[in-house]
Copies of this chain bind each other. A is one copy, B any other.
């Protein structure tokens, strides 16, 4: 590594990339004091050199050609362009040249992480990715360094700020999903194509990374349970709240009796649960250890500066560490996958016609062996019946029978604690 100055290449000068540039400038003194040398961005890859940016950047540093970054003498490259293609090829080529990589790219890690870890080890470079999970919260560092003696039974949390913002707006202002989404897009919290966020992919990528870090293995992405917020509606949120819960998009990685579980789903949390207090674009991670108990970490999960903070802190930390091989990542065979066990469910039943009274429906469920512990019954202005249940033993088959016999549509969500 060159002396005197740490030469940094930057792939992507969007929101996070701009924040990284600003942070390296504003925190230069602290960086230099800690590292004994200045940190300088010497080359930055962009799509369009003429684009107006919120951050000032020397025209000489900017390029649209990846080859210019590869040819520049850089010690370390920050990848904040997102996506797998071409990010994977770029990162691979840089590692092969001996560059350390700091990335915020959860999709890249969840889809090609195992290969990248192997490449990093083969070329004796470091791969750092604190910024890929939970923005400014240093959760990966904590798990890697300070919770290694505990058995970690689960790591769960609110890992996607966009969907948490949308859910908060829906609940607080009774906005339908589409309106809340549009508002989030106008405010820059959601992208023009919100698929990855609202369908739960983004949160799943992050859970995948957490599982690899904590357990040294994860599930293939397709084997995880994944349900987004795109079909949630206000009626469900309102009935859940009447029953004493708030619906959050909960991501969860856990290990029980050797089996890894990975899931993302709208989940009912008791209103006094710490994760239920996490509102707007905040993220929070709850770690359960067998000795320490439950720990909660909360902070801004997205946005220019919180994520840039994680990138730059990660970069500085990396430069204080000697190279040690990164623990390998593996994927668990799908045949060993067990679904997340979930004793309690929230069943949202909505009548499509008027073929049964609440009493008849509850009587049917009782005889079918479904144990109901809480219930709320509503009729809306159009006299549509809605029933919210917290129950155990409700299966898909019950849902099908309710539809056949009563014209009832059933949506089922996990409940964290009844």
Contacts and interface: CB of A to CB of B under 8 A. Distances in A.
Interface string A28-72: 001100100000000000000000000000000000000000000
Interface of A: 23, 26-27, 30-31, 34, 130, 136-138, 141-142, 145-151, 272, 274, 277, 289-300, 305-306, 308-310, 312-313, 316-317
17 contacts: A23-B291, A27-B151, A27-B291, A30-B148, A34-B148, A136-B289, A138-B142, A142-B146, A145-B317, A146-B313, A147-B313, A148-B313, A150-B313, A291-B306, A292-B306, A292-B313, A296-B297
A63 B23 CA distance: 54
Contacts of A291: 23, 26-27, 136, 305-306, 308-309, 312
A231 B313 CA distance: 43
Nearest to A273: B277
A6 B30 CA distance: 36
Given A137-B295, A291-B312, A294-B300, 8 more contacts: A23-B149, A30-B151, A34-B149, A141-B146, A142-B146, A146-B313, A272-B277, A289-B309
A150 B297 contact: no
A49 to B, nearest CB: 27
A200 to B, nearest CB: 25
Contacts of A141: 142, 145-146
Most-contacted residue by chain B among A274, A291, A300, A309 (CB, 10 A): A291
B305 A294 contact: no
A149 to B, nearest CB: 5
Contacts of A313: 146-150, 292
Contacts of A297: 295-298
